[in-house]
Structure 1
């Protein structure tokens, strides 16, 4: 075997060992829920470019990205500007992406969860109301509701249900979100509206213990809302 081949093989082994160690650490820290998430991450990793392609990409792609100069995705309650492997090629194979989120007064990030990514949220300006719902291995859900302010960091674990909204009636909220996936953010979330509408109304009414007629006013689309606004 040539020295180049041996180096590449060693690099692959090192990456595999690091991935296994990270999965074990995550499982020890966060329990069975994140152990399942780590298994999902291993599946994604197997689809990434090989070590040589990643190295070539790092050598040939620009390492500078003007995040806030990009055309934002505009929604009723705010905007998203993102850097992911589709818009910032150097991120391909790096398991990382970043989003700058701006919520106008009354703006709400749709309650959702990410099947294959955790996120770190750095609060730049404004005040956010947060809720994070975890797993229930001890027989009860763990839920946290709190406010985050400029300089605060909020971690939403992979697979945990969460949302945040602008708590102010007159000041925008700005948050920078880092994900451990290179995919576009909106391709990796399941929102509450789509989740509800993927279930037959009769089943949903039974689970909520309400008449089926009470659900008549809920929109029926199975689509992401992403960012909305209080009416």
Structure 2
């Protein structure tokens, strides 16, 4: 073993850099201790070097450092390493033995996106420019403090949004001259069709933060049609004629002053309605968390699409609550790419792309994942202690998926056994018994808890 650097050297290095350079240890991984030196925790903390079944490993939650060692292959890392990033991505450092072939990157973190800072707020985005696989959908994460306004605007793309925290007031205007106003809070949605003008304003003590979804991966938050910008770039004589006012009234309107800016604190909706207010026939908002849930043995899913939120013609979504250790069952989506946003917890997803290609990615809160349409996958909660909360979002009018379990249960069992267990009839019978109900269990508990011959927790 290479001698450990002196404590003085390590302390000095810790002050200069967050990166750590470590020599290999007998246990096959390194972990910084509280004093900044490199310790060697018990080997039992990292039991995945020899694991033929490729079980999940929550290295970030357990503070364990993964290394590329798997079932007698691989070895330690001698060069520089970003310890935190490796702990966040254990299935890239030590991929399951079932991973194979080449897939593009299908993960992005909003923490890696540039933040545009404005007066009382900020915005950052994940588009096809940040994540090349994000062709169908672009996402924008926006924060507005109390009273802060996202300028009156519209855009070519439709806008769907999920309130992550706080309270927000939305206004919209339809093609029949109808107006809409609503106050929303955590878990609520809005949808503005292409071209419908609208505004957003933070309410309450801390304002709001939300996720905006646009039905084109090429969208840019900088390409919206802004009220002040239009007025600024129209001859003042025309503006004056349009509003029947003197042109000098519009001399001090400047586009650079707005976009996100501090406004006055709004009154109640009833008191703010203008004299000419005519309520829109459209319902632009929806309370997603009040949606009836599809219950699973390991969590629940709430689906919102054009069937229960009629105006949302181009975006469908599912809100998943996945219990500790549970699994969003193996499935695929036939009508759109899946664009997932991870709100809470840690997960791993293996994506099967046909032709023997498969790749596993790990996700944390604030991450975005893309699964191209028809590619088989699952979402597994890496933690045995913490819940996982995920939004599955699609550029589609309806949420559609195929369950592998359900398919196997509703296919003639002779055919299934000929495919999977032709040379193992005993296992074939056990498999048939397990899927005979053909009931779709959208989120499966961590282990089978029935009295039949399913796997018990200790066998996983």
Residue 203 of structure 1 and its aligned partner are, at CA, apart by 3.0
Q: What's the CA shift for 1:111?
A: 0.2
Distance 1:150 1:207 in 2: 39
Q: Which moved more, 1:125-134 or 1:77-86?
A: 77-86
Q: How well do the aligned residues superpose, as a CA RMSD in angstroms?
A: 2.5
Structure with the larger RCO, 1 or 2 (CA within 8 Å, 6+ apart): 1
Cα deviation, 1:13-56, whole Å, max 9, x if unaligned, reads: xxxxxxxxxxxxxxxx99xxxxxxxxxxxxxxxxxxxxxxxx78
For the residues of structure 2 that align with 1:200 and 1:83, how far apart are their CA atoms?
A: 33
Structure 1 or 2, whichever has the larger Rg, is: 2
Does 2:377 align with 1:162?
A: yes
Query: 1:202-213 counterparts in 2 under 5 A?
Result: 202-208=414-420, 209-213=422-426
In structure 1, what is the equivalent of residue 346 of structure 2? 127
User: Number of paired residues?
Assistant: 171
Distance 1:64 1:207, change over 3 A: same
Structure-1 separation of matches of 2:439 and 2:308: 23
Match of 1:35 in 2: none
Match of 1:215 in 2: 428
1:99 to 309, 318, 324: 318
Structure 1 or 2: larger strand share? Answer: 2
Tell me, what secondary structure is at the counterpart of 1:60? coil
Task: Mark the runs of 5 or more structure 2 residues left unpaired by the alignment.
Answer: 1-131, 134-174, 177-191, 194-279, 448-460
Q: What is the TM-score normalised by the length of structure 1?
A: 0.66
Unmatched tracts of structure 1, length 5 or more: 1-28, 31-54
**Structure 1 pair 212–202 and aligned structure 2 pair: CA distance change class (3 A):** farther
Aligned-partner Cα distance in 2 for 1:69–1:124: 18
| Structure 1 SS opposite 2:285 | coil
Whether the 8 Å CA contact 1:97–1:179 is kept in 2: the answer is yes
Runs of 4+ in 1 over 4 A off after TM superposition: 55-59
Deviation of 1:86 after TM superposition, in Å, equals 1.7
Partners in 1 of 2:296 and 2:282 — Cα distance?
Answer: 31
2:437 & 2:372 partners in 1: Cα distance? 27
Q: Partners of 1:82 and 1:126 in 2: how far apart? A: 20
CA contact (8 A) 1:127 1:150 kept: yes
